[in-house]
Each structure stands twice: as C-alpha cells, then as structure tokens.
Structure 1
Amino acid sequence: MSLDGSYDCLTKTPMGDQKSVFTVKTDGDSFTGSNVGAMGSLDVVDGKVDGNTLTWKMNMVVPMPMTLDCTATIDGDTLTGTINAGAFGQMPMTGTRQG
C-alpha cells in the first residue's frame, strides 16, 4: 500500500493541540513533503522510508529556531508518530489520510 497522500494531523504540544496537514510523497526509500499548520509550513528534511515507518526532520522557526526529529508509522489510513522537540520532549502526533 502506498504511504503517499495528505494526512489531517493533530500534535499535542506544550502550547496546546496543533492541527496540521502532513503531505507524504515517497520515492523509493526516501520521501519529501511538508507539515502545514497554524504555525506555518515546515518542509520535510532528510525523509526516509523503512517499510511503513517514516523518519524525518523539520526545521522549526516559530516560536524559536529548533530542529524537530520526527518518526511516524502509517497503518492503512492511520498515522501514529512522535515529534521530538529537544528540551521540550516528545510530542505525540496522530493523523488520518484525507479522502
């Protein structure tokens, strides 16, 4: 099953729940995409695919510059993952494939 698509996501952050749309476009064992929400658009950096597990980084600018280390597993239309925000710890991320 293809992992490609757009996912309506919810990330539980210290600043409250953040909704976003996470897009995935795989190419072999790598992928590109973005996570777009109220805090702006973050591009996927160094996206890797291992089976149905994705790992990637995002360079956050707002509210402070920080590199986020992310991992997610896609099971059917459900995405479950974590975003590691350094000193702020791990933030759970869940999502559902659109359409």
Structure 2
Amino acid sequence: MSDIGGTYDFTVSTPMGEQTGTMVVTPTADGNGFDGELNGTLGAMSIANGTINGNTLNWQMKMNMPLPMTLDCEAVVDGDNVVGSIDAGMMGKMAMKATRRT
C-alpha cells in the first residue's frame, strides 16, 4: 500500500486531554515502509521504523514531553482515514485517528 503518503490531521486521546496536529507520511521507494514527522501541541516527533503490512501501519516515535519515552504506534488505513493506537508504556494505550488532507 504505497498510497499512504500525504499530510494528515490527527487527534490523540491522552491522559492530558485531546492532542491535535499534523502528521506527514512519506512512503519509502520500495513501498514497504514509511517515515515522516508528527507536529502537534506537544512539539514535533520523527517517525521511525515505519512498516506497511497490507493496510496496517506500525511505527515508533520518541517523545520528550511530558516524559521522555518511545511510543509504539499501530494504525489501520481505510482510504483517507486512519484509526489506531499509541502505546505509551506506563501511560497506557491512547486512541488516535487521522484524516488525510493532501
């Protein structure tokens, strides 16, 4: 699924309330992975280790605020919509959703 590229508006339900922003996704040349960046109310985070398996995406991000930690993310793409979760370790799993705008 190499058609995941673009800019998405996202919302994540966190213990500190809803966090919003944009996520830029850039597929790799072979179409099996992706990278990008998430820019939100808590700052910017680079997408690392992005993999594509059918319509399921998996990736990691390193968060610095409010605590430094690695976030493990998984989401399912359905057209321009993405629904998934972000595992924040001791803070638990947080629901995320996104809609492609470009």
> What is the TM-score with the length of structure 2 in the denominator?
0.93
Separation of aligned partners in 2, 1:61 and 1:42: 9
The answer to whether the aligner puts 1:38 opposite 2:31 as a matched pair is: no
**1:49-99 superposed Cα distances (whole Å, 9 cap, x missing partner):** 111211000000011100000011110111101000001110000011114
**1:14-48 superposed Cα distances (whole Å, 9 cap, x missing partner):** 00000021111111211011111011100001111
Tell me the amino acid that sits aligned with residue 51 of structure 2. K
Aligned to 1:94: 97
Total equivalences in the alignment: 99
Separation of aligned partners in 1, 2:50 and 2:19: 21
Aligned to 1:29: 32
Aligned to 1:15: 16
Q: Which segments of 5 or more consecutive residues in structure 1 lack a partner in the other structure?
A: none
Larger mean CA deviation between 60-69 and 21-30 belongs to 21-30
Question: Which of 77, 81, 84 pairs up with 1:81?
Answer: 84
Superposition RMSD on alpha carbons, in Å? 1.0
Tell me the amino acid that sits aligned with residue 74 of structure 1. V
Q: Which segments of 5 or more consecutive residues in structure 2 lack a partner in the other structure?
A: none
Aligned to 2:54: 51
Runs of 4 or more above 4 Å deviation: none
